[in-house]
Structure 1
């Protein structure tokens, strides 16, 4: 081994220090420039894109989702419930809103049995009461037995576990899951749950007294699906459709409603108001009394006037736009999904845990996207991120599945110039185009 004198070692050390101070490395590769490092961002998502099907939208760059995390309305699902869902659909990969769809169908059936008729107006008057201040039950057999006897019930299902509905016809409390993408799929081992809402907001208004069927009840109860079988939100269709199908199966196995099996007529909302209106018109012709859907808030908001005009109940398992709480619905609109005013808190908490300096919030340009974006911004500001640290951007969502991908090139450049180190994507499948635009603009995604 060649000997090195003490003087030589000192000289070498001094040279290394000089090189390090000039941003070069001694004996290593030269580090990346600080400017590049500042462009490394963490990706966050919402219930519309935190799905196992979402990476498919990125095709050969599915790896870009690795490390992405976000929130979705979800309660810890019992393994027995998952097993029952898979008995209906063995290929089921996601459970988003499956429990909410199951509970929406169950509550509709119980409200109909208590009403003693399939008249939508009578069903609607029983819905909120089914979830509050009665004899507690949690399965089709026992709940239907009580309802057939005219007993006021307090249904607790899979998603509705803590408290019942508010006077506005939506959950008073909610559970959110924080989910993570690893290896191009959701890593269940990292899922965490947090509660939100206030039990005291549940309604205390007594429903009309349940009555036993007499005369012409209008049975069978016919439910019309209005779920996103196609369009940007189609990734959420399998769990919602499976949850609804499981509930219908179990209700009918327990004897049905008003002495007849419940009928389910599937239908597509297309993630598009025009498609949804056509489906609604077909349901009206088939004497549907309760619409289960729509799958997205924007579609529900657009067609609710048509549903109300037809005098039908509309019960969504997936609408979260907070403005739907106060929309004019003549008492006919309900949802098992919690409003985004609650999810905004959960999302902001997830983001702030990572200590971001600048956050970009990218949303679909519709009531759902911009509504949730506003709630998250408010919560981030409460947490200490001033207005100059949060950037809001929107994009026009594609009209249908045949529309060209979202062009977010200019927005990606804005984010690069802004220097965000956290980016939240509020949207559905089209969010993939935003991720690709960020990557192509040179915004480094932290994984």
Structure 2
């Protein structure tokens, strides 16, 4: 059983200065005068939660139908809409949009970025480093177990990820695999973070980038670090010794949205995971990695089908799923009852923390218990200066939980949350939702 984490627990390590830094960030189009509302009853800002495929139509509708009426409106977005292709698809520079996304802020971030660009001829995007780290941890844990049994892998996740052994980063991943194969624990420190797991399977520390859409590009304005030291309870969580192996093939599944609403982000996230397997396989070790990719289609039923296919094929550990609504259902219906380890690189719903999962579900992405308050501070800070905010959010576990965290934090900061409007993916139009949230 997992213990419930409150917002105050996960924020206390950030410090006042870390949160306050967000207040100095700006987005072009925000006047920062805090005059209460923009237009006839419209809020100063709107927080929009969604995925790129729906985001295309959603923002097309805003800029074609409403932007002229609310010229000073600021739009705040989270990781799911931090997509470099979005301005081109929308055919607008989106200069009034700013947001937050988990950063690749680990010790191995630069090495990973260079390795990713060399392999794929493009720079990594959001959650790509988290996917690399998830695959690296599962390869190391499976090697430490000496078998592809989910329970044996589960019991060695913290053996390879948390402090206790010699430290290895992404640049040393093949050497870390050799060390574990030799029967010694390692402390893997990653590309996205230190990748230390608490008793809930969440990472203990995280970093967020503040990203601004400007002239069709996305500019990183700042990076903020959050989190706490591992508690005694975290450090006492199960971490069995490596068994030592001469030869071994780790079988790691990848369950990602190659299509559907999250498809534009899911492909690069998948590639981040596969990069760690390629790195190990190219090193000429006695340990190799067999991978298999299944497409969730950003749909829970397709995700369950793909997860079952991986279980039937003998994969005891899986990187994914990506979307929270898919992850929660796959965990409940496939991973937990079949004893399979799942490490999601991008499922951020706080509900993941509270799963009764027998310690089979982990994630390398931080919970939205952090991102919601960070977005709220960005919206209410001096430069954006919003005293009122509406919310427009995807009607699923990800959208609902992040919207709730944002709204609660925005009101705690002294702001007023006006209209709170949900939407479904793949709608043909979002004009009625925009009308509602803008009070038109």
Q: Structure 1 length as normaliser, TM-score?
A: 0.76
2:388–2:418 CA contact under 8 A, matched in 1 = yes
Q: Identify unmatched segments of 5+ residues in structure 2.
A: 1-37, 41-67
> Does 1:160 find its partner at 2:193?
yes
1:223 matched to 2:252: yes
Residue in 1 aligned with 2:379?
351
Deviation, 1:97, is 0.8
- What SS does the aligned partner of 1:221 have? strand
Aligned match of 2:163 = 133
Matched, 1:170 2:202: yes
Which residue of the partner structure matches residue 430 of structure 2? 408
Q: Which residue of 1 aligns with 2:312?
A: 285
Q: Against the structure 1 CA distance between its residues 75 and 82, is the aligned structure 2 distance closer, same or farther, given a 3 Å change threshold?
A: closer
CA RMSD of superposed structures (Å): 2.3
Partner of 1:424 in structure 2? none
Task: Write the distance in 1 (CA, Å) between the matches of 2:70 and 2:189.
Answer: 48
Q: How many pairs does the alignment contain?
A: 366
Q: Which residue matches 2:265? A: 236
1:436 aligned partner: none
Deviates more, 1:80-89 or 1:228-237: 80-89
C-alpha distance in 2 between matches for 1:281 and 1:210: 28
1:48 aligned counterpart, secondary structure = helix
* CA drift at 1:255: 4.5
Larger radius of gyration: 1
CA contact (8 A) 1:46 1:70 kept: yes
Identify if the C-alpha distance between structure 1 residues 260 and 200 changes in structure 2 by more than 3 Å, giving closer, same or farther.
closer
Q: Secondary structure at the match of 1:331?
A: coil
Match of 1:249 in 2: 278
Q: Structure 1 residues 42, 146: CA separation in 2 closer, same or farther (over 3 Å shift)?
A: same
Q: Distance in 2 between matches of 1:296 and 1:282?
A: 19
Structure 1 residue aligned with 2:129: 99
CA distance in 2 between partners of 1:71 and 1:222 (Å): 34
Kept in 1, the 8 Å contact 2:183–2:245? The answer is no
- State the Cα distance separating 1:180 from its structure 2 match: 0.9
What SS does structure 1 have at the residue aligned with 2:226?
strand
Report the secondary structure of 2:277's partner residue.
Answer: helix
Provide the secondary structure at the position in 2 that maps to 1:284: helix
1:204 pairs with 2:204: no
Structure 1 match to 2:83: 51
Asked if structure 1 preserves the Cα contact closer than 8 Å seen for 2:369 and 2:405, the reply is: yes
Contact 1:296 1:319 in 2 (8 A): yes
Contact 1:111 1:123 in 2 (8 A): yes
* Contact 1:172-1:201 within 8 A present in 2 as well: no
- Cα deviation for residue 94 of structure 1 reads 4.5
State the 1:201 CA deviation.
4.3
* 8 A contact 2:317–2:341 mirrored in 1: yes
Cα distance in 2 for residues equivalent to 1:330 and 1:279: 22
Counterpart of 1:336?
364
* Alpha-carbon offset, residue 93 of structure 1: 5.0
1:312 equivalent among 340, 345, 357: 340
1:303 aligns with 2:347: no
User: Secondary structure at the residue paired with 2:202?
Assistant: coil
Whether the aligned pair in 2 keeps the contact of 1:177 and 1:191 (CA below 8 Å) is yes
Post-superposition shift, 1:198? 1.3
Partner Cα distance (2:184, 2:356) in 1: 30
- TM-aligned CA distance change 1:235 to 1:143, over 3 Å: same
TM-score, with length taken from structure 2: 0.78
CA displacement at 1:133 relative to structure 2: 2.3
For the 8 Å contact 1:224–1:264, the answer to whether it is kept is: yes
Distance 2:266 2:310 in 1: 19
Does structure 2 conserve the Cα–Cα contact (< 8 Å) formed by 1:144 and 1:254? no
Displacement after TM superposition at 1:146 (Å): 2.4
Kept in 2, the 8 Å contact 1:108–1:290? The answer is: yes
Match of 1:73 among 90, 98, 102: 102
